[in-house]
């Protein structure tokens, strides 16, 4: 018996850049998914979730790859991880998995990556200790893409595995997916200590679910690929300047590309400010500019997210933006600790006036990545 945990994440900046070979800057949340494992004598794998009492799903390890369509959607995340280990030639024995998630589902905080990474880490420790962190991230991502049917990039799984407490993770996705490690410049832990500066990071969960399996995310990916193809470039990472985008004939595709190109610049700017040890208040305006770009150029925001961001800024936040894939989910706001309650109340009141459901608000600090706890 053992227990492993993996966290959700918020991305400080760098949205929809991961599948364009660009840069991201997430932190891990103090909210985790727990995966308890009890080994079995037979070759069966079962999964139970505290969030779905009475629904145990069981299958033979060897039959998982063909069993996807019979498995309920929620169980495809953990069982997809098992299937992916097997597909890569690892011998996985029988086990009972017990899941318990504290990352809000559908809030854009990567509850699914927390789930898949907690299972992946457990299976690595128990059955495949030679698997590297990079492979682990790839296994979790492949399980989500191929088995659960959610077309994610590598942001969420990388955050869940690589983040460390007290730091933001600067990840250069191109370098990382090409095989570079931290020494090769693929990623870097940048100190991100808001408490010392009297600041807090407030999460505002709009309660409107963000769902990757709906088509909007996949359509944005296709438009980004089309933009790179129109420019004759391997990816939007390779665009030298926004002016080059004039060569894209389709106005909508051009705006999608402009978001990605300007967002990469914003990630580099924020990373540089934090590296220099500047006052974190200075990143606020960059976060807000990121929101405007997601709202107007990438068009993945919602009226509730826009209201959360605008109200947070009006009531004293240094910057605010939606996080994650969009079409619902959460926003973050960078606020003076003394103002956190004022900002949260203002957002709640404005939501009530606008007829939106009551948002959930909470403060987060950069927490540890996935690890064994027991």
Contacts of 119 (CB under 8 A, 6+ apart): 4, 35, 77, 78, 81, 82, 97, 99, 140
Which of the ranges 150-158, 265-273, 278-286, 305-313 carries the binding residues for ligand GLA, by CB under 6 A? Answer: 150-158
* Cβ proximity of 153 and 15 under 8 Å: no
Which of the ranges 55-63, 151-159, 243-251, 356-364 carries the binding residues for ligand GLA, by CB under 6 A? Answer: 151-159
Q: What are phi and psi of 11, to 5 degrees?
A: -95, 120
| Count, residues near ligand GLA per rule CB under 6 A | 11
- Nearer to ligand GLA among residue 155 and residue 171 (C-beta): 155
Cα separations in angstroms, 138 against 105, 113, 174, 372? 22, 11, 14, 19
- Nearer to ligand GLA among residue 24 and residue 57 (C-beta): 24
State which H helix or E strand residue 265 sits in. helix 251-276
- Shortest approach of ligand GLA to residue 144 CB, angstroms? 8
* Residue whose C-alpha is closest to residue 203's, from 129, 69, 298, 108: 108
- Strand, coil or helix: what is 170? strand
Which of the ranges 10-18, 49-57, 193-201, 356-364 carries the binding residues for ligand GLA, by CB under 6 A? Answer: 10-18
- Nearer to ligand GLA among residue 35 and residue 140 (C-beta): 140
- Does 205 help bind ligand GLA (rule: CB under 6 A)? no
- Shortest approach of ligand GLA to residue 18 CB, angstroms? 5
- Does 7 help bind ligand GLA (rule: CB under 6 A)? no
* Residue whose C-alpha is closest to residue 53's, from 107, 119, 100, 5: 100
- Nearer to ligand GLA among residue 6 and residue 45 (C-beta): 6
Residue where the block lists tokens 């200590």:
193
- Shortest approach of ligand GLA to residue 78 CB, angstroms? 17
Interface positions, 299-318, toward ligand GLA (CB under 6 A): none
Burial class (CB in 10 A: 0-12, 13-18, 19+), 178: exposed
* 183 counts as catalytic: no
- Shortest approach of ligand GLA to residue 259 CB, angstroms? 11
Would you say the C-alpha torsion 194, 195, 197, 202 has a positive or negative sign?
positive
Strands (E), the chain: 2-11, 23-24, 26-39, 44-49, 57-60, 95-101, 167-172, 187-191, 199-205, 319-322, 330-336, 360-364, 371-372
- Shortest approach of ligand GLA to residue 141 CB, angstroms? 8
Interface positions, 320-339, toward ligand GLA (CB under 6 A): 324-325
- Shortest approach of ligand GLA to residue 84 CB, angstroms? 17
Tokens encoding 102: 């504290």
- Shortest approach of ligand GLA to residue 239 CB, angstroms? 18
Which of the ranges 114-122, 148-156, 164-172, 343-351 carries the binding residues for ligand GLA, by CB under 6 A? Answer: 148-156
- Does 153 help bind ligand GLA (rule: CB under 6 A)? yes
CA atoms within 13 A on the CB side of 214: 10
- Nearer to ligand GLA among residue 36 and residue 108 (C-beta): 108
Q: Which of 138, 156, 205, 339 is catalytic?
A: 156
Interface positions, 13-42, toward ligand GLA (CB under 6 A): 15-16, 18-19
- Does 155 help bind ligand GLA (rule: CB under 6 A)? yes
- Does 156 help bind ligand GLA (rule: CB under 6 A)? yes
* Cβ proximity of 204 and 301 under 8 Å: no
- Does 280 help bind ligand GLA (rule: CB under 6 A)? no
Contacts of 45 (CB under 8 A, 6+ apart): 58, 59, 60, 61, 64, 79, 82, 92, 94, 95, 96, 97
- Nearer to ligand GLA among residue 37 and residue 300 (C-beta): 300
- Nearer to ligand GLA among residue 78 and residue 328 (C-beta): 328
State the DSSP code for 210: -
- Catalytic residues, by residue number, are 156
By CB under 6 A, name the binding residues for ligand GLA: 15-16, 18-19, 152-153, 155-156, 212, 324-325
């Amino acid at each position: 018996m053992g227990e492993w945990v993996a966290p959700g994440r918020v991305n400080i900046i760098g949205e929809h850049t991961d599948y364009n070979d660009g840069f991201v800057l997430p932190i891990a949340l103090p909210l985790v998914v727990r995966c308890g494992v009890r080994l079995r004598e037979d070759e069966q794998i079962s999964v139970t979730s505290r969030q779905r009492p009475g629904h145990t799903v069981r299958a033979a390890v060897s039959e998982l790859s063909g069993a996807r369509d019979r498995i309920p959607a929620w169980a495809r995340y953990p069982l997809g991880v098992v299937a992916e280990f097997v597909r890569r030639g690892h011998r996985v024995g029988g086990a009972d998995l017990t899941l318990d998630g504290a990352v809000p589902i559908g809030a854009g905080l990567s509850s699914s990556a927390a789930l898949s990474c907690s299972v992946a880490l457990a299976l690595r420790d128990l059955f495949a200790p030679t698997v590297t962190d990079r492979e682990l991230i790839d296994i979790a991502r492949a399980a989500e893409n191929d088995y659960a049917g959610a077309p994610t990039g590598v942001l969420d799984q990388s955050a869940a595995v690589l983040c460390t407490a007290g730091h933001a993770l600067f990840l250069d996705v191109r370098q990382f997916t090409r095989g570079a490690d931290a020494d090769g410049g693929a990623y870097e832990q940048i100190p991100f200590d808001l408490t010392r500066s009297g600041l807090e990071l407030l999460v505002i969960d709009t309660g409107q679910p963000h769902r990757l399996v709906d088509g909007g995310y996949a359509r944005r990916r296709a438009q980004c690929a089309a933009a790179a193809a129109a420019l004759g470039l391997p990816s939007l990472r390779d665009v030298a300047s926004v002016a080059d985008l004039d060569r894209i004939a389709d106005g909508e595709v051009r705006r999608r590309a402009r978001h990605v190109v300007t967002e990469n610049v914003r990630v580099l700017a924020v990373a540089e400010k934090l590296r220099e040890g500047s006052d974190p208040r200075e990143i606020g305006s960059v976060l807000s500019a990121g929101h405007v770009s997601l709202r107007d150029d990438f068009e993945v925001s919602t009226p509730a997210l826009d209201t959360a961001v605008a109200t947070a800024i009006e009531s004293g936040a240094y910057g605010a933006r939606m996080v994650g894939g969009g079409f619902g989910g959460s926003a973050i706001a960078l606020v003076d600790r003394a103002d956190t309650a004022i900002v949260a109340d203002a957002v709640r009141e404005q939501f009530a006036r606008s007829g939106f459901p009551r948002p959930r608000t909470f403060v987060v600090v950069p927490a540890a990545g996935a690890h064994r706890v027991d």
